[in-house]
A and B are shown apart, each in its own frame.
Chain A
């Protein structure tokens, strides 16, 4: 007789999801992932709004990813309305996105995932059993937030990023301070890499699905998607390729690629698309379980990238920005940015009054659903014979390898 056990509320992930383990007698025979977050219907909420309201509203899809949502929305709007931004604004936006990357990865690594490796319940347990690791993680995380605050005005839902420009630019002194703080954090980051790479694996080897990521490599931006299967998809075609459809067991749309493959996005995917040579040794086996290592490597890359961006900004100087004038016209825009959890796509259409007529947002966790479900199935196959509790624990850890962001996925 089949009997379904539910991990009711996934914990230490963003949003609401559950995993159902199907038991046959003592054996777990099947597993289902369910993203049951209540849909807020953002794509409908946005329709009818003026172009300059779109980024402000869209960034509320998710707090952890709010900066990258905002930037993706801005870029799509600007593309639709033919607004070009200055190099300075572009550098600052990327800086904000890298800040978000640092914050999100540090949050995941040190508060959400690390407790699994140390057998504790969360940051409360870390505070008792590994206080210095927690503190180290929080220091790194804080720096990510400082960067987002300096550029976006606020760590969550940055308001200072506007269509065509910014409210107030960070001053040279502020940038210099950030640069100093970034240099100071390098020791922590180096220590973190060594520490995270030394952690023993908790999961069996599970193969990685084909992957895709934005074409820009470490910049996290790009004008298209690159896949590990050798495809090169232009941004304007990406939504078609991602081919989202509705399935009845999840509130997030699911990507249905041709030939029923699933693609994976996220840190591991990005590294596999363009792996810097110096980090190859961190990934002895190509397995999902390496995703934590991928995050810490990416965290280091983000810190380096942020330093570089600040250097460029400081070198460019503080010239006065001309405010852009937006000529309202009919148009469509699509942008692709790498969010901490993977490829994010925003697409909008505007009518001749600049009012949004259609919105399409595709988020990494939604894309990853197929890969996640497959990994879960592989997991129970690999652990056949293990007791229910072990499988249940492993399933949660596996889900965390994808660091799902369910609010994003369902939006």
Chain B
């Protein structure tokens, strides 16, 4: 296998989730590592022939039938072109790349998953992996914030898990539209506010964070106030990326490369790294 060479994949389904985000299911070669062996938090490079290639986090679980779940926001050239892609269209993928969430480090721990906006995509993958061995961990707390109610991704899925007691869930939105009623218990506040009244055992809790870069400093402060040490906090960073294998030079953060050293880093690794938390 050459990690520069994308393998062919077809679009199985592409379903709009919010006005600007779609859930995309792809199918590629059976048992190809790009579909079969990755860790939550890792990413792949998705190509739309003739348009371009972009890094996208895994949003589902590894599969043996070659299927891949991705959650994609339509923001630029490639992601917008994806909007008009039809079922059956040929795309291509390569990966998995990067370092995912350290599942083994989480054994026996309480886990705090904090997602902002599209950050839910990789955290969903993490959550699904955790749920597969639900007994191996303690509490699973999910804090999730989005701009507005209709931008909350997987809200139903999450609420179902909450109602059958698998996870503890707190939702928040920045603005509540007048016309729409939010899910029960959904607050109107910025994401870091959810940490304010949280009760966790800092000695047996690990946090996994993915969201827009602006909230990271606030979340870190909040978590430290809860008593979590930086070593227990894992953040997924997003940077411009081209090659995915540590060569093109775009995704450097200090002397770290997001694509090979990350995208998941512990708070301790990022301490003092210039430009890591902006």
Say if the two chains contact directly (CB < 8 Å): no
Interface residue ranges, B against A (CB under 8 Å): none
Interface residue ranges, A against B (CB under 8 Å): none
